[in-house]
Structure 1
């Protein structure tokens, strides 16, 4: 049976200030935990059901893990999602390390993306299209939020995020000459835009307000996804997928 202290600790990690205090976060579900095991994240401990432990015994024995067997009911009481009946892990967060643009590489930049589900989807989409770096404004939601981790489906182990003041970031990289492509409602058509093979930064903005004025001043190319129906706007996660899909059609890995 889980101790009260362990239960209290896991529950505290659902709150950002305690994730920052303990430098730790929670990962739920078989797929995400298995990908976590194969990543370079430091793992504190893993809670598993007997069924999960038997099914993945060969994988679990390859890692030097602090394992504890629990019941499905205990997991459901601990996690954020009632469907988790297999495993839960607590891992250490990574240092907020600077990410520099590289020649021939495309990076994502997120300006004030607040919805955890959107951020998780964007991380997953970035992973799909081979984007490994995302620079985020300080107001963008926390990558270690349980809803973000769940929506990312393990992709958070392969995509690096850096949180910073975006204006200061552009000042730091001003010696690097490359295009900064921003998604705007009034930009040039995405279907006519030519993505440079030299790489660049693709900026996606806030769900309601788009890219802010302070960041807009650094944009060299404003483009939009043409609308053919009556919808008012696109979800930022879907819009990111459209942007990256068109980029990869022109600039394959």
Structure 2
């Protein structure tokens, strides 16, 4: 049973300040929780309906976590969450550990991506295309925002992220590799050849694009050719198009 204090605690984790204070975040919905249980995240507590427990006995047996049985009506008391159909878990956040591109590897680099839904979608896209690292500017939305976690559909468990000041990072780690930036004006993505030594694919802010400070480190500006009248593409869609072209080239060699 969910107590008032537990409900208050879970709801407080929608706010970044409290996520940082408790070093905890919320995962909701059966798919995302099952992915969480299969990952290396430390699970603080899982509240689940008896139906969820019956359907996922093997997962729960393999990964023993503090478990409390709740009803759907109790889950509905978690007011601002949208998919409380069977369970909600609280897990511990991970340390912000340094990441960079290994030789021959491409890493996504996000400059001031603010929308949680976009970040969650980008995590899912990276997971689909086998990109396991994302380096984020300090102003990019928090990985553990509930909307990011929900939009990622469990992919947050397989993608490593690192938040840092991007210009100094690129100054040190962008030398000798490709730093490919998405711009409205640049070489056609269809003609561009991704450098074989690997590097970084930079995606910018939803309305402003890649900032000037980060843009100075971009070695190759690319654009997705436009054939219609739309002014721009959503950053998540643009990321998918670029990742698809990247993987096609790497696959063909």
Deviates more, 1:77-86 or 1:199-208: 77-86
Residues 28 and 79, structure 1, Cα contact 8 Å, conserved in 2? no
Which whole-Å CA distance do the structure 1 matches of 2:240 and 2:77 have between them? Answer: 34
Which structure 1 segments of 5+ residues have no match?
none
Which whole-Å CA distance do the structure 2 matches of 1:21 and 1:81 have between them? Answer: 20
Which residue of structure 2 lines up, in the alignment, with residue 219 of structure 1? 218
Which residue of structure 1 lines up, in the alignment, with residue 35 of structure 2? 35
Which residue of structure 2 lines up, in the alignment, with residue 21 of structure 1? 21
Which whole-Å CA distance do the structure 1 matches of 2:186 and 2:101 have between them? Answer: 24
Residues 113 and 207, structure 1, Cα contact 8 Å, conserved in 2? yes
C-alpha distance 44-79 of structure 1, shift in aligned 2 (>3 A): farther
Which residue of structure 1 lines up, in the alignment, with residue 181 of structure 2? 182
Which whole-Å CA distance do the structure 2 matches of 1:57 and 1:114 have between them? Answer: 38
Residues 178 and 199, structure 1, Cα contact 8 Å, conserved in 2? yes
Segments of 4+ moved more than 6 angstroms: none
If the length of structure 2 is used for normalisation, what is the TM-score? 0.97
Which whole-Å CA distance do the structure 1 matches of 2:243 and 2:156 have between them? Answer: 18
Which whole-Å CA distance do the structure 2 matches of 1:44 and 1:81 have between them? Answer: 18
Which whole-Å CA distance do the structure 1 matches of 2:60 and 2:79 have between them? Answer: 21
Residues 80 and 146, structure 1, Cα contact 8 Å, conserved in 2? no
Deviates more, 1:52-61 or 1:139-148: 52-61
Tell me the secondary structure at the aligned position of residue 65 of structure 1: coil
Which residue of structure 2 lines up, in the alignment, with residue 108 of structure 1? 108
Root-mean-square deviation (CA, aligned residues, Å) is 1.2
Which whole-Å CA distance do the structure 2 matches of 1:190 and 1:59 have between them? Answer: 43
Shift of 1:76: 2.1
Shift of 1:8: 1.3
Which whole-Å CA distance do the structure 1 matches of 2:90 and 2:218 have between them? Answer: 39
Which whole-Å CA distance do the structure 2 matches of 1:210 and 1:230 have between them? Answer: 19
Residues 235-246 of structure 1 aligned to structure 2 (within 5 Å): 235-246=234-245
Residues 186 and 221, structure 2, Cα contact 8 Å, conserved in 1? yes
Task: String of CA shifts for 1:169-219, please: whole Å, max 9, x gaps.
Answer: 123325x51010000001010000001222110000000000000000000
Which residue of structure 1 lines up, in the alignment, with residue 232 of structure 2? 233
Which whole-Å CA distance do the structure 2 matches of 1:46 and 1:98 have between them? Answer: 29
Shift of 1:54: 1.2
Which whole-Å CA distance do the structure 1 matches of 2:83 and 2:134 have between them? Answer: 29
Shift of 1:82: 3.5
Which whole-Å CA distance do the structure 2 matches of 1:85 and 1:116 have between them? Answer: 21
Q: Count the aligned residue pairs.
A: 252
Tell me the secondary structure at the aligned position of residue 231 of structure 2: coil
